[in-house]
Amino acid sequence: MCETLTSPAAIVMTGARDRVDPIELSSYAGLGAIGLLTLNILIGLLLSTKYNPVRRWPHHRIDTVSLHNYTGWTALALVLVHPALLLLPSRVDFRLIDVLYPTHAPKQPLVNTLGAAAAYLLVVVLVTSYFRFEIGRRWWKRIHFTTYAVFPLFALHSMFTDSTLGDHAIDYLDGEKVFVELCIALVIVAIALRVRWQKAQPPARVHRKRVTHHPQQ
């Protein structure tokens, strides 16, 4: 059979079960995660500028808050599936501890640790978003800013992993790496635009706190 039939679609179509490589599947989950996280950050940055899709492009009502939520939770699901697949029998033996705390993982422990740190921070950001009313807006917002730390962590992890875990030099022109590079570039440009937008805003007015006198006090 053709050697190239290793994509998930080809595996399903041909039923070539013996070709399923957990490391390759894990790489697809990682790529899906970075794609969704990129979309999630872009929508989050739009939300922070109070972008109105009805008044501006695409001149349609779009529920950007729900989109931000869905992309975040789906990305988290893929982020968890991605290292979990490494536990399946393959060329490289990852133990549970190597996935949860990869400092001594059998391959690329440093970049995997960056990925794990990103994953843990992402869990914190999403769980605290779920309980944001209980936590209160002020604290929730402070915690939510850690997303700016999640981005460089998963960006470095995704750029510097050898997706085959075969100790090869990284090919930065490989299709998957180009996708990763595009995602990172998009986020950097979007953050720069967000900062420019912020600088163009009129300075915020300082509101004096009104003191209300209660007759019984």
Q: What is the largest CA-CA distance in the chain?
A: 88
Q: Tokens in use for 13?
A: 């179509």
The reply on whether position 26 binds ligand HEM by CB under 6 A is yes
Distance, CA of 80 to chain centre: 11
Integer-rounded Cα Rg, in Å, for the chain is 22
Closest distance of CB 33 from ligand HEM, Å? 4
Of 46 and 122, CB closest to ligand HEM: 122
The C-alpha atoms of residue 158 and residue 83 are separated, in whole angstroms, by: 13
- Residue entry with tokens 């006198």: 213
The reply on whether position 177 binds ligand HEM by CB under 6 A is yes
Among 67, 129, 176, 190, binds ligand HEM (CB under 6 A): 176
Among 39, 43, 46, 79, binds ligand HEM (CB under 6 A): 79
Residue 27, classed as helix, strand or coil, is helix
The reply on whether position 83 binds ligand HEM by CB under 6 A is yes
Of 39 and 79, CB closest to ligand HEM: 79
The reply on whether position 154 binds ligand HEM by CB under 6 A is yes
- Using the rule CB under 6 A, give the single segment among 6-14, 109-117, 132-140, 203-211 that binds ligand HEM: 109-117
Helix (H) or strand (E) holding 92: none
- Residue entry with tokens 């779920």: 130
The C-alpha atoms of residue 102 and residue 139 are separated, in whole angstroms, by: 30
The C-alpha atoms of residue 149 and residue 196 are separated, in whole angstroms, by: 20
Contacts of 144 (CB under 8 A, 6+ apart): 125, 128, 129
The reply on whether position 23 binds ligand HEM by CB under 6 A is yes
Closest distance of CB 108 from ligand HEM, Å? 6
The reply on whether position 42 binds ligand HEM by CB under 6 A is no
The reply on whether position 39 binds ligand HEM by CB under 6 A is no
* Binding interface with ligand HEM (CB under 6 A): 23, 26-27, 30-31, 33-34, 37, 79, 82-83, 86, 99, 102, 105, 112, 115-116, 118-119, 122, 154, 157-158, 161, 163, 165, 176-177, 180
